[in-house]
Amino acid sequence: MEGLRYVFSQPYLRTLAIWFSVMNLFSSALFALVIVYFVRDLHLGAATIGWALAVMNLGFIAGAFANGGLVRRFGVGPVIAYSAPLSSLLLLTIPGAPRGNPLPILLVGGVASAFVGFLENVNQLTLRQSITPQRLLGRMNAVTRFMYWGSIPIGSALGGLVAETIGLRTTLFGAAAGAALAGIPIMLSPIRTLRELPELPIRATVETDA
């Protein structure tokens, strides 16, 4: 209860907890169906899918190297705020890739989405940790991770159910669009104005349970 009170009374944490859980709801629906879509609709073989995913994941490594410079250049808030919807928007390249020759679009979109997704994820985590008193870190993380991850199995199940009704490709478009729209409130929130990580008051950093 103390963790819930803190998360929902802190504007940055409240925004991240609500909207990242919604983003994960939609994006998990997409990721649950990606391999099925690659096989059934794009007719990609196992080896092709394996090396394509390996190439896409290079975006995470590139993001790790670029993150520090981008945060110094643009500020931690703008990096979080604008990468949140952009990383999901780039997922539209998966259902948008032409069936005749999908790999170029899949690879470019996948690398770009992973790159931007890394920026979004590592910086929102850093922000969460920096604005939380040490004694509340476990409680804050318990609440936010429950919200972030609790929507993932729901989204995966819903993605499968919807795909059986309206088809794989249409569901992927809808899931990617839904995840991107869920990032807009983060982009419009006060988070985007943060140039540097806020500092906790000294009293908050040394406060104990006693």
**Per-residue pLDDT tens over the stretch 149-167:** 999 999 999 999 999 999 9
Q: Does pLDDT of 112 surpass 90?
A: yes
Q: Does pLDDT of 2 surpass 90?
A: no
User: Over the chain, what HEC string results?
Assistant: CHHHHHHHHCHHHHHHHHHHHHHHHHHHHHHHHHHHHHHHCCCCCHHHHHHHHHHHCHHHHHHHHHHHHHHHHHCHHHHHHHHHHHHHHHHHHHHHCCCCCCHHHHHHHHHHHHHHHHHHHHHHHHHHHHCCCHHHHHHHHHHHHHHHHHHHHHHHHHHHHHHHHHCHHHHHHHHHHHHHHHCHHHHHCHHHHCCCCCCCCHHHHHCCCC
Q: Mind listing the pLDDT tens digit for each residue in 9-47?
A: 999 999 999 999 999 999 999 999 999 999 999 999 999
The model's pTM: 0.87
- For residue 170 the two structure tokens come to 């249409």
CB-CB contact of 51 with 106 (8 Å): no
Q: Does pLDDT of 203 surpass 50?
A: no
Instruction: Enumerate domains of the chain plus CATH numbers.
Output: 2-190 (1.20.1250.20)
Which of 164, 37, 162, 163 has the alpha carbon at shortest distance from 93? 37
Positive or negative, the CA dihedral 161, 164, 168, 173 is negative
Q: Mind listing the pLDDT tens digit for each residue in 71-111?
A: 999 999 999 999 999 999 999 999 999 999 999 999 999 99
Residue 45 to residue 39: CA distance in whole angstroms: 7
pLDDT of residue 79: 95
Compute φ and ψ for 207, nearest 5 degrees.
-60, 140
Banded model confidence at residue 201, pLDDT cuts 50, 70, 90: low
CB-CB contact of 199 with 73 (8 Å): no
Q: Mind listing the pLDDT tens digit for each residue in 129-152?
A: 999 998 899 999 999 999 999 999
Residue 43 to residue 12: CA distance in whole angstroms: 43
